[in-house]
Amino acid sequence: MVWQRAGRCCATGAEMGNGIPRWRSDSQKSYPKTAGGKLMIKPFEKPIYVTRPFLPPLEEFSKGLEEIWENRWLTNNGPIVRRFAQELCNFFESDNICLFNNGTLALQIGLQGMGISGEVITTPYTFVGTTHALFWNKIRPVFVDIEPDYYTLDPEKVEAAITPWTTAILAVHVYGYPCKLNALADIARRHNLKLIYDAAHAFGVKVGSKSIGHFGDLSMFSFHATKLYHSMEGGLLMFKESGLKGTFDYLKNFGFKNELEVVMPGTNAKMNEIQALMGIQVLKYLDEIIRDRSAITDHYRVRLKEVPGIHLPPPISPDVKYNHAYFPIEVDKREFGMNRDQLYETLQHYNVFSRRYFYPLICDYACYRKVSVKDPLKVARRVADRILTLPIYDSLGLSDVETICRIIISLQQGMNVDANPIVKP
């Protein structure tokens, strides 16, 4: 389910003194009083979801719709889709891109167009669409463990899993955190493997001066409405080999070369004009969206970094421009006093809806349990049992972020829930 944003709520200068977020009201600058051991924090009146989509001003979007109505061209590579593609070429500083109606089909077609087969080494710690793209191409996933800091593929585990049937590595920039780029590139080069990235979370991320999409042989970006950048639904492939562009264009349009020729068995994965319009409109606000989310990240980090039992990813390398797509925490039951699931459920009593993302592991879903997994996946299993992503979106007020932090801190201190909890929907 996707919830519309009701209005923009940006951090003001007063809230951002010395670069560290501050909450808005004086009454929130100290812990609330308790009465009879009960913490006096009331549930939010309206739900705070883990994410909400940014929407451009309605009048701007309506003006774009007028052009679509005037053109009466809704799909099949219309003028707005072509304009969107050019804007993204400029954004990525590359002509090697191809737009799709969603990220899952983009990845499926990317694998098909590159001729990937046999075995592909990948992560069990991802959204299930990553692995589904392999399945639909009759490729066997080989699951290996992740590294503990940013939850991306462990290069040592990748190299140990290579067999004569391995044709590619499919790694995921989890939460927008870049994979071990140099190590994976070295392994792929030495073993003559294709290196493919699921960059669904990583739009806007740069390493040095280059977009994350410039690494590897191919990257898939998702423009789903739950992402910080979106086109309602949509996806994009960015690739190293320019000759793939024609293949991808055929595959996403039933294999049509022209009105009379079908050159390959393709499917229908074309982006439509309304999706492209949303993508163009949101792109104009990307820097502002990332700036607002950065302030939320800073606030969470400052308030939660010393809470016993709450473990945060390390600060990201200064050569990475991060997009603040998610805010993950790990919950240690012994130190925090309750496990991840208990915290997840208790936050819902306060009308705060976090997400166990990713849980369970892909290999534990019924449809993949028969896939042989030789790696014990010790890190991935530990993380999946402890992970929780907290609410983060551009219109989330810092006062609400502060309240979420105070709830978590107070729960760790053993204070009781105030009065009447919200009944879960």
Contacts of 218 (CB under 8 A, 6+ apart): 110, 114, 194, 196, 197, 237, 238, 239, 240, 244
**Chain Cα centroid distance, residue 21:** 24
Q: Given this model, what pLDDT does residue 414 score?
A: 84
Confidence of residue 38 (pLDDT cuts 50, 70, 90): low
Q: Where are the beta strands (DSSP E) in 308-366?
A: 310-311, 320-321, 327-331
In three-state secondary structure terms, 224 is: coil
Q: Which tens digits make up the pLDDT trace of 285-296?
A: 999 999 999 999
Determine contact, residues 170/176, Cβ cutoff 8 Å.
no
Q: Check whether 423 has a pLDDT greater than 90.
A: no
Q: Given this model, what pLDDT does residue 43 score?
A: 95
Q: Which tens digits make up the pLDDT trace of 310-344?
A: 999 999 999 999 999 999 999 999 999 999 999 99
Q: Check whether 72 has a pLDDT greater than 60.
A: yes
CA dihedral 315, 316, 318, 319 (to 10 degrees): 170
Q: Check whether 172 has a pLDDT greater than 90.
A: yes
Report residue 14 as tokens: 């007063």
Q: What is the pairing mode between strands 206-207 and 210-211?
A: antiparallel
Determine what percent of the chain is predicted with pLDDT higher than 70: 88
Backbone angles phi, psi at 139, to 5 degrees: -105, 140
Task: Work out the burial of residue 146: count CB atoms within 10 Å of its CB; fewer than 13 is exposed, 13-18 middle, 19 or more buried.
Answer: buried
Q: Check whether 180 has a pLDDT greater than 80.
A: yes
Q: Where are the beta strands (DSSP E) in 283-411?
A: 310-311, 320-321, 327-331, 387-390
Q: Given this model, what pLDDT does residue 179 score?
A: 98
Report residue 24 as tokens: 């808005």
Q: Which tens digits make up the pLDDT trace of 384-410?
A: 999 999 999 999 999 999 999 999 999
- Summarize the confidence of residues 48-74 as an average pLDDT: 98
For tokens 């009379």, the residue is: 260
Determine contact, residues 321/223, Cβ cutoff 8 Å.
no
Q: Which tens digits make up the pLDDT trace of 249-291?
A: 999 999 999 999 999 999 999 999 999 999 999 999 999 999 9
In three-state secondary structure terms, 389 is: strand
- CA distance linking residue 340 with residue 326, whole number of Å: 17
Confidence of residue 349 (pLDDT cuts 50, 70, 90): very high
Q: Which domains does the chain have, with CATH numbers?
A: 13-53+286-412 (3.90.1150.10), 58-283 (3.40.640.10)
- CA distance linking residue 48 with residue 347, whole number of Å: 10
- CA distance linking residue 379 with residue 326, whole number of Å: 20
- CA distance linking residue 65 with residue 60, whole number of Å: 9
Confidence of residue 39 (pLDDT cuts 50, 70, 90): low
Predicted model pTM: 0.90
Q: What is the CA radius of gyration of the chain?
A: 23
